[in-house]
A = this chain, B = another copy of it.
Amino acid sequence: MEKPLSDSRSACPIACTLDIFGDRWTLLILRDLFLGPKKFSDFESAPERIPSNILASRLRRLLEQGFISRHAYQERPVRYEYRLTRKGISTGPVLKAIVIWANSEIPGTIRPEIIYGKPQTDAGTDT
């Protein structure tokens, strides 16, 4: 396995994916967005209690990498809501595989509707 990707550890698709999502929080942000657009405070009220500095950092990275877009819903002070882009929605099958695995192998996990409903997308910023 060579290293054709400039900022990746290898050309392995699993390693490259973990370079993006290999932490305890990023996929939870995408999970929440599959239910519809979210404000910063919406993410903070999820049961996992994401720390706000981690949330801000992950949102910034997801924006830079084109998984989400943001839209001002208020001026002075400006406040944003976040939406999945096409690229963000493309992660659905990965989340679904995780849910199926966890429901089978981790006792007590709920069977959510989260990723099975029609996702809310951002038709404007289809990166």
Contacts and interface: CB of A to CB of B under 8 A. Distances in A.
Interface of A: 1-5, 8-19, 22-25, 27-28, 31, 46-49, 87, 90-91, 93-112, 114
A25 to B, nearest CB: 8
Which 6 A-B pairs give the minimum distances between C-beta atoms?
A: A13-B102, A97-B97, A22-B24, A13-B109, A10-B47, A9-B48
Contact of A47 (B9, B17, B22, B23): B9
* Count of this chain's copies in the oligomeric assembly: 2
Most B C-beta atoms less than 10 A away, residue of A17, A96, A114: A17
A104 to B, nearest CB: 7
Nearest to A22: B24
Given A22-B23, A24-B18, A101 B94 contact: yes
Most B C-beta atoms less than 10 A away, residue of A9, A47, A95, A102: A102
B47 A98 contact: no
Contact of A31 (B12, B95, B109): B12
B16 A106 contact: yes
Contact of A112 (B13, B47, B97): B13
